Amino acid sequence: MRCFVGIDLGSTTTKAVVIDENQNVLGRGITNSRSNYDTAAAIAKQEALVNGRFYLFRQALGNTGALNGALDAFLGQLERSFRFEQYLEQLADLESTCQRNVANARFGDAASSVSSALAEVFKRLSAESAALFAPGAKPKSDFFRDIAGSQYLATGEVVAKESGIRYDFLLNVFDRSIIEVENRVYGDSIRRHLLAALERTFLMMPDTAGRRDRVEAPIKGILDMPMEETYIVGTGYGRARLPFSKEHVRSEILCHGLGAHVMHPGTATVLDIGGQDTKAIQVDPNGIVESFQMNDRCAAGCGRYLGYIADEMNMGLHELGPMAMKSTKTIRINSTCTVFAGAELRDRLSLGDRREDIMAGLHRAIILRAMSILARSGGIRNEFTFTGGVAKNEAAVKALKDLVRENYGALTLNINPDSIYTGALGGATFAWRAVVEEGKTAEARS
């Protein structure tokens, strides 16, 4: 089948969306940008295509009725099993890379004991891995670096102590090796992993094994069907790195404008808060950008602001919003400088203010800055669509709602659960338009 792909290479994460000939979203994929846009783009696209296969599995299995009532559970298990297979392969790769790096490191006499300690660490990681992908388990992150990293750090510390070697040797090896591993794409393993995951799923859900033939046939049918990348459009900060010609590259302003329009056709104003910039975009009824403003010179008030605060507070990025929601008191925090906000935060803590209230103040500070960029772009018009990573943060959304109501009155505020994919969706729609409406064909980078 013909597929149209949009890739958004952001500063923090890289996102991909695949749509079909009727502009249905087949799949979405995300990965960390890992300062290597080539890999990030390849992996995000691969993830989106895998996600697309799952969408097609669902469609096909839904049509046959083979799994009546058990479809969701089956596909959920299939996906977990698939992730597990992927994880095992990467873990094995990480182990052999670590061992190779120990051989090349200057650990002197300690080398062989580090090597044995590594073997022990990986033995324990493998033993623990099944639990990470068990039903009901909530992985802390979608990215191998984070999942394997947190396991490795915890287990490594214990093993280092037990075997009497220096923990920092293990850290050193990990840091070097993880970069190599996360820059491999494993594109050839997808089919194998899906088939292995299928077997695993039949084992885990014995009821379905009885219907094996009726389940297997449509899945294999879809696996055998090529998903042709008919046209790709790239956007985001890394777009110049994309391996295709300029024709395939659009600015993220255009992609966010169009993506927001596709998600919510009534959109007139878009606010996107990403890792390093805040964009206010005005679009016409066809999703065409009329004007835009971005933060200039300074990235205070962007997603990284929250990242910095999370680091300062020694918290996870996703924990900030929920904490701020528990606020009972208004605290004003300056919004002009990320680093100063960090200082202000510590000052507030020392004055005895509650963390919840300070967090709420920080979220409001971000949105205040966004309000000024929105004002610069011509204000907020109905409907108003909020996108980007920060749109997932409930405290930021609450602050935005309050400020919009105060300044512009009652408006429709759209926040799509998939808003992080807005730019990629816009890119995929541009790809679709290029082929279907403009009759273009893909061009290689010259």
In the complex, the residues that contact other proteins under the rule CB under 8 A are: 237, 250-254, 284, 286, 288-294, 296-297, 376, 378
Taking the complex as a whole, the smallest distance from the CB of residue 296 to other proteins amounts, in Å, to 4
Tell me the two tokens of residue 36: 């290597």
Say if residues 23 and 261 touch (Cβ distance below 8 Å). Answer: no
Instruction: Give the angle 407-363-310 at the CA atoms, nearest 5°.
Output: 165
Residue 265 burial class via C-beta count within 10 angstroms: exposed 0-12, middle 13-18, buried 19 and up: exposed
Q: Indicate the residue among 385 and 393 with the shorter CB distance to other proteins.
A: 385
Q: Indicate the residue among 141 and 251 with the shorter CB distance to other proteins.
A: 251
**Alpha helices for 133-251 (secondary structure H):** 144-163, 167-182, 190-204, 206-209, 212-224
State how far the alpha carbon of 218 is from the alpha carbons of 53, 68, 434, in Å.
Answer: 11, 14, 32
Taking the complex as a whole, the smallest distance from the CB of residue 256 to other proteins amounts, in Å, to 10
DSSP sequence for 94-132 = HHHHHHHHHHHS--GGGHHHHHHHHHHHHHHHHHHHHHH
Q: Indicate the residue among 286 and 446 with the shorter CB distance to other proteins.
A: 286
Cα end-to-end span (Å), the chain: 27
Taking the complex as a whole, the smallest distance from the CB of residue 249 to other proteins amounts, in Å, to 9
DSSP sequence for 377-419 = HT---SSEEEESGGGG-HHHHHHHHHHHHHHH-S--EE--TTG
Taking the complex as a whole, the smallest distance from the CB of residue 372 to other proteins amounts, in Å, to 11
Taking the complex as a whole, the smallest distance from the CB of residue 376 to other proteins amounts, in Å, to 6
Q: Indicate the residue among 207 and 290 with the shorter CB distance to other proteins.
A: 290
Taking the complex as a whole, the smallest distance from the CB of residue 224 to other proteins amounts, in Å, to 39
Query: Smallest Cα–Cα separation from 264: which of 430, 427, 415?
Result: 415
Q: Indicate the residue among 167 and 244 with the shorter CB distance to other proteins.
A: 244
Taking the complex as a whole, the smallest distance from the CB of residue 398 to other proteins amounts, in Å, to 29
Tell me the two tokens of residue 427: 């890119």
Q: Indicate the residue among 191 and 381 with the shorter CB distance to other proteins.
A: 381
Taking the complex as a whole, the smallest distance from the CB of residue 293 to other proteins amounts, in Å, to 7
Q: Indicate the residue among 193 and 250 with the shorter CB distance to other proteins.
A: 250
Cα distance between residue 366 and residue 276, in whole Å? 12
Sign of CA dihedral 80, 83, 88, 89: positive
Q: Indicate the residue among 191 and 246 with the shorter CB distance to other proteins.
A: 246
Q: What is the H or E stretch that residue 260 is in?
A: helix 252-263
